Structure 1
Amino acid sequence: MLPSQLLRPTGAQHQGARQPFSGGALAPRRCVDGARVRRSPGAAAPGASPAVSPAPKSESRSSAGKIAESAGKASGSRGSAMIDTQPPRGTRDFFPEDMRLRNWLFGEFAAVSQGFGFEQFDAPVLESEELFVRKAGEEITEQLYNFEDKGQRRVALRPELTPSLARLVLQKGKAMQLPAKWFAIGQCWRYERMTRGRRREHYQWNMDVVGVPGVEAEAELLAAIVAFFERVGLTAEDVVLKVSNRKVLQAVCARYGVPDESFARVCVIVDKLDKMPREKVEEELAAIGVPPATVDGVLGALGLRSVEELGALLGPESEAVAELGRLFELAEGYGYKDWLSFDPSVVRGLAYYTGTVFEGRDRAGKLRAICGGGRYDRLLAAFGGEAQPMAGFGFGDAVIVELLKDKGILPAPAHTVDDVVVPLDAALRPAASGIATRLRRAGRRVDLVLEAKKMKWAFKHAEKLGAKRLLLVGASEWERGCVVVKDLAAFEQKEVPVAELAP
């Protein structure tokens, strides 16, 4: 849910906003030409609380003693050690100022997704372990937060969202309308070595298309990524989308005699080219039985830098060449071709990819991948279902924040309210509470000052919150059915009848 949705009043609240304000005994007298309304002698002033008899002194002391004793225990006065206030290593706390930024980012993710006609879904963070355990030697399998629950079931905190999506699609079965366009923003967990932009928990934005076999799906997904980058102020000079196709490496491996059963492991190893020295990659390929001459041929082919060069190597009839050519043609039609770069070394480290693959990188090369995705047509079959064409991407929250910081365009969303309501007398607090309720029912964001504060503090507080108005509930104005309203942008002040406070 976006912040704007959280602040929207419900239908019942809208109805309440249309009803006349009723404050019971605290309702203000009518505000007529600023004149003071007379009261009969001895009558309580508007907003005055009825008298309450004090509790017996012995009872008061007893209660106070109990409270003091409890407070002493809670404050650690008996020598309790302070707990470790830091979150577990690799995780984050989100203070209000952090949540404002997170809500902004998630709002941008959702706005792009909805602008492309996608619907939101979610799934449990805790999933069955078998959903993520695969046999291709993927890093992600080794990085699972997994354990046996109290029912002796093997479970894991999800390290990514795509397998959960696949499970939901299988659960829907024939009832699912295709093609389907879904997106999610969910928390993921991986026990991995931490670097800048890499933590052990992160939030991931996914967009997936189910039921479209052509590269038109990938072209639409890449368009969504570019739309997001443009929304947050990035350009093709800041970010590059490196594009390839799993069929490129598959054709090269076949050309050099790599067995089909070794292909998935070759993909996982080749994906490490930007993370470790070439010599180490060569060692790992040799360890799974790839001969040195074949290693040289495979890695050499991954140095090609154009689809034309690839066509010269594999032939124009190659599926990989045809699909990449079509993708670049569509990108030109969308208007984002200058964001793309052909790079056959991009294979993605997950074994389920079958066709187009891509990664978003900062052109300066200072950060890890910003996002990545591709086509995974056989994932449902790997889970025992019927194969279905699928394509999608994952986009983490951590790296993009680092990049926006580097570019000096990371926003700092402020905590803002529409109105600050301040009672100038303790007896007027119920009246101020009623005014706050009236304004909130009208859909305004209202901060009600809960303690007795001086006028100077109230002004500074309203300014700090970025409030549009400061409402002062004073005794003389309340008798006339009014409050003092200070317009903090126009620096104007006037008395306003309570009935006219909510636009």
Structure 2
Amino acid sequence: MSWSTFPTLRHLLLLRPRLPKPYPHPLRISSSLSSSSASSRSLSSSSFSSSSHPVPSALTQEYADDAGGSPEPPAAPSSAAGRESSVIDVNPPRGTRDFPPEEMRLRNWLFDNFREVARILSFEEVDFPVLESEALFIRKAGEEITQQLYNFEDKGGRRVVLRPEITPSLARLVIKQGKSASLPLKWFTIGQCWRYERMTRGRRREHYQWNMDIIGVSRVRAEAELIQAIVMLFERLGISSLDVGIRVSSRKVLQAVLQMYAIPDHLFTEVCVIVDKMGKITREEMEKELISTGVSSEAVKGIIEVLSLKSLSKLEEVLGSDNEAVADLKKLFLLAEHYGYSNWISFDASVVRGLAYYTGIVFEAFDREGKLRAICGGGRYDKLLSTFGSDDIPACGFGFGDAVIVELLREKGLVPDLARQADDIVFPLDEELEGPASSIASSLRKRGRSVDLVEDKRLKWVFKHAERINASRLILVGNSEWRRGMVRVKILSTREEYEIKVDELG
């Protein structure tokens, strides 16, 4: 049956759109906003922009504005006259993002993949408050992260912080659960983190992070499980071992080297923070920083030589086969063969990770072209709980941010097309049929169908809207059909049209 065989349709569609009344105080955009916000708007283009919405070049310029690493100066207070003639800046704070629908669809898609991998590996989801006690994140290590906190005093005089990472929150909950928690625990979470840091590609001042942690397992099997989760995620997203690798080492390697040169234990964490910059600063700069901590020139040379090793057999020659770090790493590489991801991982002694609480095997994923910062990273942290006054429990985990992985997906052309989708559009052809149309929409929704109820539009607009949201059916409620207990249905993919009884709509 042809659509044109219904001559009354065009006549019934001469609807009068109900235009909203003008807002009593129209929005005024100041000239300063129109000229200066072009670059700042680029920041609100989330890392989740779809492939059809490439990142504007202005984004690079905004990152360049922050390249010096210095905080931007506070805005000067505006005069009373200025306040009267200006409006609030519609851009989100620098380093943060809005998520309009198309970007929210991509974020949800990524998070769904995080959750599915965690489900496959039999992890349970947990969550924690974004606002935490400052004491949870202030450590003696001199870590860079302690200088990047969004921290303040609340109205009750308590020092609080927007969490910069998630692992300490997890440790707090483990301690709170106490003996009621049956070990081992396999927990994951997806949470927002905040750091006031210099912005670069894939690095913002807020990001979402997928964490997976295993609490109560001391054997290397736990690290092997976590690395499998990372590899599974990459494979689900279409990323191969030709695109990404995972560097593996152990904090115990550096410990062994420091012991060889009789360097005091209290310098270990400070040395870790400096060594973590390997590849980011020159060798000369690293030597200078290490010497400034009190490490001898001879020890600095030895540290850098060992941490430049890329072969596990060479490490074994230096430290000996009975060294604990060597034994752990050999076990991990053996397990990688059994799991089937040995082509993803490689030994790199320079990987130490910057956080103070790591105690054993550490790892981080990187893009092989070297265009992006680390995609994710983690390791063993067996001594973290004692820093909060509890008994230690063996633990390991990783953090996987949302920003860098989307940059990589975009780089590889792997960002999926995630257009809006709906099952049905219900459209009354006359104002007096709004009630019946509402009843039909409600009935379909109760059956689990996604239904958009459209009113006060012309048919041409409805068809275009159906294309925009990829609707499957258009259900028209017209007078003549409704009097017979029928509605008209158009299958939008095939252009097939038919009438059907209302109670037979499926």
**TM-score (norm. length: structure 1):** 0.85
In structure 2, the CA distance between the partners of 1:476 and 1:397, relative to structure 1 (3 Å rule), is same
In structure 2, the CA distance between the partners of 1:114 and 1:308, relative to structure 1 (3 Å rule), is same
Letter in structure 2 aligned against 1:486: K
Letter in structure 2 aligned against 1:72: P
Letter in structure 2 aligned against 1:102: R
Given that residues 473 and 483 in structure 1 are in contact (C-alpha distance below 8 angstroms), is that contact kept between their aligned partners in structure 2? yes
Q: Which residue of 2 aligns with 1:458?
A: 462
CA distance in 1, matches of 2:180, 2:352: 33
2:159 is equivalent to residue 154 of structure 1: yes
Q: 1:147 Cα shift?
A: 0.5
Q: Which residue of 1 aligns with 2:115?
A: 110
Q: Which residue of 1 aligns with 2:446?
A: 441
Letter in structure 1 aligned against 2:300: V
CA distance in 1, matches of 2:410, 2:229: 22
CA distance in 1, matches of 2:218, 2:438: 59
- Pairs within 5 Å for 1:18-417: 71-73=23-25, 75=27, 80-417=85-422
Letter in structure 1 aligned against 2:147: E
Letter in structure 2 aligned against 1:299: I
The equivalent position to 1:477 in structure 2, one of 471, 476, 481, is: 481
CA distance in 2, matches of 1:352, 1:376: 6
1:156 counterpart SS class = strand
CA distance in 1, matches of 2:282, 2:192: 31
The equivalent position to 2:492 in structure 1, one of 465, 471, 488, is: 488
Q: 1:76 Cα shift?
A: 5.8
Q: 1:73 Cα shift?
A: 3.4
Letter in structure 1 aligned against 2:130: V
Given that residues 482 and 495 in structure 1 are in contact (C-alpha distance below 8 angstroms), is that contact kept between their aligned partners in structure 2? yes
CA distance in 2, matches of 1:120, 1:322: 32
CA distance in 1, matches of 2:267, 2:122: 39
Q: 1:139 Cα shift?
A: 0.6
Given that residues 256 and 298 in structure 1 are in contact (C-alpha distance below 8 angstroms), is that contact kept between their aligned partners in structure 2? no
2:112 counterpart SS class = helix
Q: 1:274 Cα shift?
A: 2.4
CA displacement, residues 349-390 of structure 1 (integer Å, 9 cap, x when unaligned): 001000010000000000000000000000001110010000
**TM-score (norm. length: structure 2):** 0.84
CA distance in 2, matches of 1:489, 1:249: 62
Letter in structure 2 aligned against 1:460: K
2:505 is equivalent to residue 501 of structure 1: yes
Letter in structure 2 aligned against 1:357: V
Q: Which residue of 1 aligns with 2:47?
A: none
Letter in structure 2 aligned against 1:453: K
Q: 1:72 Cα shift?
A: 2.0
1:336 counterpart SS class = coil
CA distance in 1, matches of 2:355, 2:204: 19
The percent identity for this pair of structures is: 62
CA displacement, residues 106-160 of structure 1 (integer Å, 9 cap, x when unaligned): 1111111111100100100000000000111101111000011111110000000
CA displacement, residues 153-201 of structure 1 (integer Å, 9 cap, x when unaligned): 1000000000000000000000001111000000000000000000000
For structure 1, the residue ranges without an aligned partner over 5 or more in a row are 1-66
1:73 counterpart SS class = coil
CA distance in 1, matches of 2:225, 2:461: 53
1:258 counterpart SS class = coil
CA distance in 1, matches of 2:103, 2:25: 32
Cα RMSD after superposing both structures: 1.5
Letter in structure 2 aligned against 1:88: P
Q: 1:275 Cα shift?
A: 2.0
CA distance in 2, matches of 1:453, 1:155: 51
CA distance in 2, matches of 1:274, 1:392: 24
CA distance in 2, matches of 1:331, 1:465: 44
CA distance in 1, matches of 2:394, 2:311: 27
The structure whose RCO (Cα within 8 Å, separation 6+) is larger is: 1
Letter in structure 1 aligned against 2:341: Y
CA displacement, residues 468-496 of structure 1 (integer Å, 9 cap, x when unaligned): 11101111111111111111122211101
CA distance in 2, matches of 1:448, 1:72: 29
Q: 1:74 Cα shift?
A: 5.9
Q: 1:79 Cα shift?
A: 6.6
For structure 2, the residue ranges without an aligned partner over 5 or more in a row are 1-19, 30-82
1:338 counterpart SS class = coil
